[in-house]
Amino acid sequence: MAKEAKTNAMRMLERAKVAYTSHEYPHEEGQAVDGANVARLTGQDPARVFKTLVTQGADRNYYVFVVPVLAELDLKKAAKAAGVKSVAMIHVADINKVTGYIRGGCSPVGMKKQFVTVYDESCLAQQTMLVSGGRIGTQIECAPADLIKVTRGRTAAITQEHEA
């Protein structure tokens, strides 16, 4: 069997001595896979699979939000959690320039720079959570507290409320 190619995110977790499990899923080269399908392809409960969203604040700084794949980021709550007046999603074309990652493979761990990172508080209800491993086709699973510590993140209620 071929040796697994490590991503920046995996190397950072190893340096921080954080235990993680990597999960691979099938995909077409260079094609992002939506979060619901990532959960299905990895056989995971979507409540445990999180997507990484990058925004720019009114102050021109970048902010990272990590939310369940089936949830939507509430920009007002996100801005409040980041301590800025407002935030807006960055353009897909800017993801690589800002983070060093590509769309569909953006991990909260191992970005080019350390940005303010906020995780949806729902992650604390999970024993482990999955986030992108730093490339399309790879997810990393570890304890929420470990991810939060490694990214110097915090938690807040940052998703939109949906009526039942």
| Per-residue pLDDT tens digits for 115-157 | 999 999 999 999 999 999 999 999 999 999 999 999 999 999 9
Domain 6-12+21-130+137-154 has CATH 3.90.420.10: no
Of 3-7, 20-24, 37-41, 109-113, which range is least confident?
3-7
In sequence order, the 6+-apart residues with CB closer than 8 A to the CB of 65 are 52, 53, 54, 55, 73, 78, 81, 117, 118, 119, 120, 158
| Per-residue pLDDT tens digits for 94-108 | 999 999 998 889 999
Amino acid sitting at position 96: N
- Write down the domain spans for the chain: 6-12+21-130+137-154
Q: With 90 as the cut, is the pLDDT of residue 70 above it? A: yes
The pLDDT value recorded for residue 156 is 97
